[in-house]
Structure 1
């Protein structure tokens, strides 16, 4: 079982400067490596405080120089917002400077606010994503390639900086479109999925969905590597847990506000945090999520793993304005106690703490 941290780089208000948010993201990456996590993942969003990470590949390249072992991933590059040839060159560059530690996650995007400002239509996202996906694979695996599609036309071109990982870095696909996920399963790519803030019933439904997608490709989902994005926090301090849950709910409120185009802002940047029709109470969130004392979190994570059977779990470590020092200590708890215990229970030979092994 692999474990990662998902770094959204949110800004809940002007009491957080953009410099502080990015600095905290880098610090969490360094701590993740020290604590024994396998991966650090970086989001991509634009033009508002939902996320201050405009280029996950730039984060990969920067954090490559701050780390030596941990894999660094894009979660995700929003393909319809990119110029394909520049993206291909930057993939090769990021994998090169990280000495082959890049995990390349891709998605089609969902925030119309972003698409409008990049001159791209959200209704074209699915088709443009499909063509970009084909171009990326051709560009990374062929020395000279060309492409002629509905949205993209590329003359014979060669990408100068090639990836260290051959034939290409691991590709992770996230999407709400079953057709896109099915294509990834058929082509042997990895998936990134989430149950949002839902509980065990949501996880069971997610497993059934993945099994159905694989079956349509005449495959079984066990043959596909997939990661599970999850909010989880271990502490016997109720105030810390409540703060984490508050920030998790803040994240969902903003995400839904942008997705369903009801975002409001007084200054054109900070999105108003307003109650959502899908809001859950703290009591419901505690029932749904692996939050609480360490042993409870371990047991709950094992229960969720037994249902979903993922290969990778990415814990959301950067939400809203959650206290940075508290989160860095939390990551140490995961590295020292939670990850080793889960791996031991699963029979993973890496069940001992990597910090101890070092």
Structure 2
């Protein structure tokens, strides 16, 4: 089982400077490599404090110079906010300077707040996403290519800096839409899914959804590669656990307010943390997530892995204003104790099944 860190780069208030937030992202990447994580993933968002990562490919180019082994991924590039030809060149550049360590996660976006400011209509997001993804595939696999679509027309063109990984870097599709996931399965792309802050029942529902996606494409789910984005935290310190859970709820509140277009702000930037009618208590979130002492987290993670059977798990490490030094220790703890214990248990079970 591969594990990664998902770095959202949030700013919960003006007590955090943008420089501090980005520097924390870089430090977590270096710490994740030292701890033995296989991947670091970077978000993309704009114009508010939900995430201060405007370009995951720029993060990758920077962190590539500070690391040697860990794979570096976009989670995700919001395709409708790009011109496809510039994006193609930047993908080639990022894969080149990282020596072929790029994982290319893509999505269609959901925050109207961002689309308005880029002069793009949210209702066109999926159609633009589909066209750009087609252009990316052509541009990475053909020396000279062209394209005719509703939104994009590309005359015969060649990208000067090509990806080191051939035919393309691994492509990861992030979506909650079954049709989008079905298309990803059809194209043999990797997928990213999440149960948000829901518990075991949510993981079971996600498993059923993925089985349906595979079945409708006449595939077996075990033949598809997909990752699971999850909030999880291990500590005997109750205050640490409570802080992590509180920050996870903050993240969800802000995301939901932007998605449902009911965000509130006094200054046009800092989104207010406002509970919704479906708001979850800290107690319910804590019961749902793999948070608690080390042994409990290991057992809960193994339970969820047994249900969902993902190939990769990305842990959310940079949420809200959680203390950076504490999170760096947490990353080391996962690398030294939790991940080895999980993989040992999975290995033992596999060996027993084969015997």
TM-score (norm 2): 0.97
1:278 deviates by 2.1
1:270 deviates by 0.1
- CA deviation vs aligned residue, 1:131-171 (integer Å, no higher than 9, x gap): 11100000000000000011111000000001010111000
Larger displacement relative to structure 2 (117-126 or 211-220): 211-220
1:282 deviates by 1.8
Paired residue for 2:353?
A: none
Paired residue for 1:164?
A: 164
- CA deviation vs aligned residue, 1:54-101 (integer Å, no higher than 9, x gap): 000000000000100000000000000000000000000000000000
Paired residue for 1:145?
A: 145
User: Tell me, what secondary structure is at the counterpart of 1:272?
Assistant: coil
User: Tell me, what secondary structure is at the counterpart of 2:34?
Assistant: helix
Q: Distance in 1 between matches of 2:276 and 2:25?
A: 27
1:216 deviates by 1.1
Paired residue for 1:356?
A: none
User: Tell me, what secondary structure is at the counterpart of 2:134?
Assistant: helix
Paired residue for 2:318?
A: 318
1:231 and 2:231 correspond: yes
- CA deviation vs aligned residue, 1:169-222 (integer Å, no higher than 9, x gap): 000001122211111100100000000000000000001001111111111211
User: Tell me, what secondary structure is at the counterpart of 1:347?
Assistant: helix
Paired residue for 2:94?
A: 94
Q: Distance in 1 between matches of 2:262 and 2:14?
A: 22
Which residues in structure 2 correspond to 1:1-358 (within 5 Å)? 1-347=1-347
Q: Distance in 2 between matches of 1:177 and 1:307?
A: 20
User: Tell me, what secondary structure is at the counterpart of 2:347?
Assistant: coil
Q: Distance in 1 between matches of 2:348 and 2:122?
A: 43
1:286 deviates by 1.7
Q: Distance in 2 between matches of 1:89 and 1:303?
A: 42
Q: Distance in 2 between matches of 1:145 and 1:176?
A: 31
- CA deviation vs aligned residue, 1:310-355 (integer Å, no higher than 9, x gap): 0000000000000000000000110000000000001089xxxxxx
User: Tell me, what secondary structure is at the counterpart of 1:90?
Assistant: helix
Larger displacement relative to structure 2 (339-348 or 23-32): 339-348
Flag structure 1 segments of 5+ consecutive residues without an equivalent.
350-358
Q: Distance in 2 between matches of 1:181 and 1:151?
A: 23
Flag structure 2 segments of 5+ consecutive residues without an equivalent.
350-355
CA-atom RMSD in angstroms: 0.9
Q: Distance in 1 between matches of 2:16 and 2:183?
A: 40
User: Tell me, what secondary structure is at the counterpart of 1:4?
Assistant: strand
C-alpha contact 2:176 2:193 (8 A) present in aligned 1: no
TM-score (norm 1): 0.97
Q: Distance in 2 between matches of 1:177 and 1:189?
A: 15
User: Tell me, what secondary structure is at the counterpart of 1:192?
Assistant: strand
Q: Distance in 2 between matches of 1:177 and 1:316?
A: 22
- CA deviation vs aligned residue, 1:233-252 (integer Å, no higher than 9, x gap): 00010100000000000000
Q: How many residues align?
A: 349
Q: Distance in 2 between matches of 1:276 and 1:316?
A: 22
Q: Distance in 2 between matches of 1:179 and 1:161?
A: 33
User: Tell me, what secondary structure is at the counterpart of 1:317?
Assistant: strand
Paired residue for 1:353?
A: none
C-alpha contact 2:226 2:311 (8 A) present in aligned 1: yes
